[in-house]
Structure 1
Amino acid sequence: MKTLWTNGSILNITNQTDYDWITTNDDLILDLGFKNNQPNSDIFDNVIDLEGATLMPAFIDPHSHFSANVYSFIQADLSECLSFEDIGNTIKNHIVENKLTDDEWITATGYDHNFLEEKDHPRKEVLDAISLTNPIAIHHQSGHFGVFNSAALAYLGIDENTPVPSGGSIETDENGLTGYMEENAFIDSVKRAPMPDMDAIQSSIEKAAHRYLSYGITTVQEGMMVKELIPLYEAIINGPDLHIDIIYYTGLADKDKVLDRFPLTVDDYHSNVKFGGVKLFLDGSPQGKTAWLREPYLGDEDNCGYGTMSDQQLYDGLTKAYEEEVQPLAHCNGDAAVAQYVNVIRKLKAEGKDLGPLRPVVIHAQLLGRDQMKDIDELGMIPSFFLAHIFHWGDIHIANFGMDRADYISPAKTALSYGIPFTLHQDSPVIPPNMIETIACAVNRTTKQGVVLGESEKLTAQEAITAVTSNAAHQYFEEGIKGTLETGKRANFVILSDNPMTVRNDQINSIQVLKTVKDGRVVYSK
């Protein structure tokens, strides 16, 4: 079906030109141009009147967790909780509203100790007061920490004698286990929790896809595909069309098992799902003080956070990625974690194993040092900045790092000065996959309390949009088919209420997604 899209601003990011019309044939772009050469509408099967709205390339998500978005619709939401009491009441209401039996596993997500009255994580006693029979696990908003009640610890077989995995922590006090865990200890434990009911999962899959589409995103990431997610992805692949592309990255230990189950996802999309590479975790969370730093946290001179992989483990993992020609993504919040990643990649390059063509990604890169940017550039690495952290946790970062370091969180403008094709992401469901908010954060770099962090690191709207369109396509090796408005590329568009290139910077966050177009079809309308 040939379609003419007209009577609006057709925003071509690469040359900063506003065109007047664009044409598509089924799922591909045909042409675009100005009013003086607009083709006759009679030759088209469909004519879409944009009514003055702005059409631009659909957003591409450089890093998030699609499966966690799916599960978020099943789990209790703690994001509005301001105290331990709120957490207890929210979970109790969840039990009643969902008519849970007294032995069902309960997961709740989204609390942040920084915003609780107690300024601390709850411990198992808080959860035991909710239920001694239901296993309960609560996840910190960052995904790096959490708490289990006594029933959950018993279900998982965790006691004071349980070995603590490297790069993790199982907290104890004079009374034994507190239920609180960090990093690898928490993540490994969560994997062993029972899967939700598949009927509930199927409904939530469609809700998660709709969430991304409502923010103008047509390509999303599964940022950590583990073998436990195989049943979920069987449901996705065999289920109805979600109108999104999903690119998944496996853990090193589970890659072969996942690919054996989904061989058709290697090298190309199968039912809109494709294998992208491998994911590694090198540190933790800056707001939780587990991000691995070269200098201690402010006022905490013995704490630089910690790494979650040894140099040898990282060397072995990246060697395997090189040998199998798969792209590595490494979670690095702190500058010490970045240094470890850089040093191992440099060592491999010296041995004749250049990972540059694989475009290694530095996920989050929040404390990436400006002095490290030359190495990032020379080694062909791509930082994907969680830049909206500046708004959501910027005031916490000032307290944790001091203004000098907080000022240069997510140094995107410095990356741009080196010509590095960085991207921007939301790590959803840590925060919603709101690309408009991220663009506004990149342009304004303002915290919730109105503090500007890094005036010199502010981006223009065009630079920020590039990071979530053409640069994001480049990160996925899809620059030939996505990310810009060019003849022959996929007809994936977002239609916005205003042009982010022309409104005032303080108005960008008010722009609304009116429609999302995937392969030439409108798949979301406000």
Structure 2
Amino acid sequence: TYTGTGNCQGGTSVEFIIEDATFVTMAPASRAESMLVRDGRIAAIGPAAAVRAAAEPGAAVVRLDGATVIPGLIDAHCHVLNIGYLAAGADCSQPAAPDIAAVQTRLREAANRTPARSWVTGSGYVEYKLAEHRHPTRADLDEAVPDRPAVVYHTSLHACVLNSAALREAGFADGQPDPPDGVLGRDGQGRLTGVLFEGPMFRVFADRLRHDLADMDAAARGRVVRRAGQRLAALGITAACDADMRCQTLAAYAEADDAGVLAQRIYGLTVHDEVDELIRSGLQGRRSGRLAAQAVKIWADGGMSSRTAAIHGTYPVPPFGSGILYFTPAELTAMVRDFAARGLQVCIHAQGDRAIEIVLDAYAQTLAQAPANPRRHRIEHGGAMYPALTTRAARLRIPVVSQPGFLSGLGDGFAEAFGDQADQLYAFRSWQRAGITVAGSSDAPVITPDPLTGIRDAILRRTAAGQVIGPDERLAARDALALYTAGGSYVMHRETEIGSLEPGKLADFTVLDRNPLSVGPEQITGIQVLATVVDGTPTYRTGSIAFPET
């Protein structure tokens, strides 16, 4: 049950003891039998007798019948509002839509429920998972939706397909050249196929999201936020970095925050070209305990699954080439310096080794006078951060926010695209051994936002087809869980408040029916979330768990 209770700050004082549970505190040398929650914080945790002695007389007792309590799970890079937004469209993912005919069917169904002023939208396809092993085209979409604009987004959100009506409305025409930051798909005669890569795709998505949010009233925008929050809360997630924050989406979060219905702590990475607007809006900084916008997001290159990440060499698979770089080294360095000077944490999407090299160059120049990296400037993803690049990132103290769940969800495509170098992709163990702080995330809606999938994949590193990518990079279970607890709290500057179960920290925790550190890795994704708690108040719980009312 999603409770949607939202923010309890300043609410009624509540105190309760949790007993009969296994506690995984993720704190150094910490063992616990019981935990006391008071006014939204952990007041005590440890031996049962000591916790009861610290409680007020008559404090409620919540017995969990042997369930496991872990720190609230943190997704340090996803697209929270996009999850709610795209969920209203057609699910064109695989295996739900195994071929292009199924994609067409789902678009027809979506057209029947889409308001007349909005484009028909689908998302989630991967061309190498479709039976045809290709992208859909404008002609395919025209067959499904002939009389109004339609778009289907690639699961990476680095490519999309438009039908003919959408191409016209978005201003694309046969014969126009590729823009500097992207590629337009073409057939053998040079006619647009409707497939857009990188920059053109981003502009289409941003325009549609902006239009559709503006067309909604506050209640409808709140439903989008709540839909995303409900999905994440049911997966045990108590905090998330939204890696595609725009001023309009931040305003929607602020509305939800004011209404007390934010189910997670949202840390916004504002898109780089909207930072000036963010500062003018007055929403910069920590707005409340649930909402902050203190970071900037820059894209250095394309995506791994769209084969547009900027690499040294060339891809052996379509669309071939060496990927897309969004900025020259000088441009990127100037941006990093400017944003850092404004006090913002800089978070740069970099997947290919060529892009990561340029990003590290920019950080090295920016951090020459601040070698400890006090703002914790980050690399997002870091897929092809090979050993020499790992050494540089560690020396610069650059944290990496990455996605273990890519290995099962997209790993077979990575193996096809990177060949012999695939074992060096997403080298979590090497990164940690080098001293890099690594945070776990999903990049949802690119893949499932389920952190248990990410924890399993960090341990097993097994693709959907059964190939193990980088067996030497497998993590122990505790280290995998740390990606989604301590690692996530560090990269969002909240390690003193969340990420472990310790006295004085916020009472953000997740209740599971089994301990992820004691079951086999293959069993981790079968663990059930029984409750998700933020500020001591459940945002999700099953009927078997009862907490005191606030």
Structure 2 match to 1:88: 104
Q: What are the Cα deviations for residues 331-364 of structure 1, in whole angstroms up to 9, with x where unaligned?
A: 11111111010112123334x3657111111111
Structure 1 match to 2:351: 333
- Residue among 359, 363, 372 paired with 2:389: 372
Q: Distance in 2 between matches of 1:449 and 1:522?
A: 38
Structure 2 match to 1:56: 70
**1:431 and 2:447 matched:** yes
Q: Distance in 1 between matches of 2:403 and 2:114?
A: 37
**Structure 1 residues 254 and 432: alpha-carbon distance in aligned structure 2, compared to 1, 3 A threshold:** same
**1:386 and 2:399 matched:** no
Structure 1 match to 2:459: 443
Structure 2 match to 1:464: 480
**1:158 and 2:169 matched:** no
Q: Distance in 2 between matches of 1:162 and 1:18?
A: 65
**1:410 and 2:423 matched:** no
Q: Distance in 2 between matches of 1:38 and 1:348?
A: 48
Q: Distance in 1 between matches of 2:458 and 2:244?
A: 26
Q: Is the 8 A contact 1:78 1:109 kept in 2?
A: yes
Q: Is the 8 A contact 1:365 1:385 kept in 2?
A: yes
Q: What are the Cα deviations for residues 102-146 of structure 1, in whole angstroms up to 9, with x where unaligned?
A: x64211111110111111111111111123321111100110000
Matched letter for residue 326 of structure 1: L
Structure 1 match to 2:227: 207
- The secondary structure found in structure 1 opposite 2:144 is coil
- The secondary structure found in structure 2 opposite 1:371 is helix
Tell me which moved more, 247-256 or 231-240.
231-240
**Structure 1 residues 184 and 301: alpha-carbon distance in aligned structure 2, compared to 1, 3 A threshold:** closer
Q: Is the 8 A contact 2:406 2:447 kept in 1?
A: no
Structure 2 match to 1:310: 328
**Structure 1 residues 283 and 355: alpha-carbon distance in aligned structure 2, compared to 1, 3 A threshold:** farther
Structure 1 match to 2:186: 172
Structure 1 match to 2:15: 2
Matched letter for residue 522 of structure 2: D
Q: Distance in 2 between matches of 1:355 and 1:147?
A: 43
**Following TM superposition, by how much is the alpha carbon of 1:163 offset from its aligned partner in structure 2, in angstroms?**
5.9
Q: Is the 8 A contact 1:4 1:44 kept in 2?
A: no
Matched letter for residue 57 of structure 1: P
Q: Distance in 1 between matches of 2:417 and 2:151?
A: 27
Structure 2 match to 1:284: 302
Q: Is the 8 A contact 2:111 2:145 kept in 1?
A: no
Q: Distance in 2 between matches of 1:175 and 1:396?
A: 27
Matched letter for residue 95 of structure 1: A
**Following TM superposition, by how much is the alpha carbon of 1:171 offset from its aligned partner in structure 2, in angstroms?**
2.6
- The secondary structure found in structure 1 opposite 2:16 is strand
Q: Distance in 2 between matches of 1:99 and 1:65?
A: 22
Q: Distance in 2 between matches of 1:260 and 1:384?
A: 28
**Structure 1 residues 483 and 231: alpha-carbon distance in aligned structure 2, compared to 1, 3 A threshold:** closer
**Structure 1 residues 312 and 11: alpha-carbon distance in aligned structure 2, compared to 1, 3 A threshold:** same
- Residue among 523, 526, 533 paired with 1:507: 523
Structure 2 match to 1:219: 239
Structure 2 match to 1:483: 499
Matched letter for residue 328 of structure 2: S
**Structure 1 residues 386 and 15: alpha-carbon distance in aligned structure 2, compared to 1, 3 A threshold:** same
Matched letter for residue 5 of structure 1: I
Q: Distance in 2 between matches of 1:454 and 1:88?
A: 37
Q: Distance in 2 between matches of 1:38 and 1:319?
A: 49
Structure 1 match to 2:205: 190
Q: Distance in 1 between matches of 2:491 and 2:22?
A: 27
- The secondary structure found in structure 1 opposite 2:360 is helix
- The secondary structure found in structure 2 opposite 1:482 is coil
Q: Is the 8 A contact 2:360 2:392 kept in 1?
A: yes
**Structure 1 residues 44 and 490: alpha-carbon distance in aligned structure 2, compared to 1, 3 A threshold:** farther
Structure 1 match to 2:341: 323
- The secondary structure found in structure 2 opposite 1:285 is coil
Structure 1 match to 2:136: 122
Structure 1 match to 2:153: 139
Q: Distance in 1 between matches of 2:119 and 2:225?
A: 20
> Which blocks of at least 5 consecutive residues in structure 2 are unaligned?
1-13, 543-550
Q: Distance in 2 between matches of 1:299 and 1:288?
A: 10
Aligned length, in residue pairs: 520
**Structure 1 residues 401 and 31: alpha-carbon distance in aligned structure 2, compared to 1, 3 A threshold:** same
Q: Distance in 1 between matches of 2:291 and 2:163?
A: 36
**Structure 1 residues 237 and 81: alpha-carbon distance in aligned structure 2, compared to 1, 3 A threshold:** same
Matched letter for residue 32 of structure 1: I
Q: What are the Cα deviations for residues 70-125 of structure 1, in whole angstroms up to 9, with x where unaligned?
A: 202221111121222111111111223x1654x64211111110111111111111
**Structure 1 residues 6 and 234: alpha-carbon distance in aligned structure 2, compared to 1, 3 A threshold:** closer
**Structure 1 residues 72 and 299: alpha-carbon distance in aligned structure 2, compared to 1, 3 A threshold:** closer
Matched letter for residue 517 of structure 2: M
Matched letter for residue 185 of structure 1: P
Q: Distance in 1 between matches of 2:482 and 2:121?
A: 37
Structure 1 match to 2:4: none
How large is the RMSD of aligned CA atoms in angstroms? 2.1
Q: Is the 8 A contact 1:3 1:44 kept in 2?
A: no
**Structure 1 residues 152 and 516: alpha-carbon distance in aligned structure 2, compared to 1, 3 A threshold:** same
Matched letter for residue 77 of structure 1: D
Q: Distance in 1 between matches of 2:380 and 2:512?
A: 28
**Structure 1 residues 441 and 148: alpha-carbon distance in aligned structure 2, compared to 1, 3 A threshold:** same
Q: Distance in 1 between matches of 2:176 and 2:318?
A: 28
Q: Distance in 2 between matches of 1:214 and 1:243?
A: 10
Question: Normalising to structure 1: TM-score of the pair?
Answer: 0.94
Structure 2 match to 1:358: 375
- The secondary structure found in structure 1 opposite 2:442 is coil
Q: Is the 8 A contact 1:357 1:380 kept in 2?
A: no
Q: Is the 8 A contact 2:244 2:297 kept in 1?
A: yes
| Greater relative contact order, per chain length (Cα 8 Å cut-off, separation 6+) | 2
> Which blocks of at least 5 consecutive residues in structure 1 are unaligned?
none
**Structure 1 residues 57 and 234: alpha-carbon distance in aligned structure 2, compared to 1, 3 A threshold:** closer
Matched letter for residue 154 of structure 2: H
Question: Normalising to structure 2: TM-score of the pair?
Answer: 0.90
Tell me which moved more, 433-442 or 152-161.
152-161
**1:47 and 2:58 matched:** no
- The secondary structure found in structure 2 opposite 1:43 is coil
- Residue among 240, 244, 253 paired with 2:264: 244
Q: Distance in 1 between matches of 2:263 and 2:39?
A: 14
Q: Is the 8 A contact 1:516 1:524 kept in 2?
A: yes
Q: Distance in 2 between matches of 1:192 and 1:33?
A: 52
**Following TM superposition, by how much is the alpha carbon of 1:38 offset from its aligned partner in structure 2, in angstroms?**
4.4
**Following TM superposition, by how much is the alpha carbon of 1:69 offset from its aligned partner in structure 2, in angstroms?**
0.8
**Following TM superposition, by how much is the alpha carbon of 1:252 offset from its aligned partner in structure 2, in angstroms?**
1.9
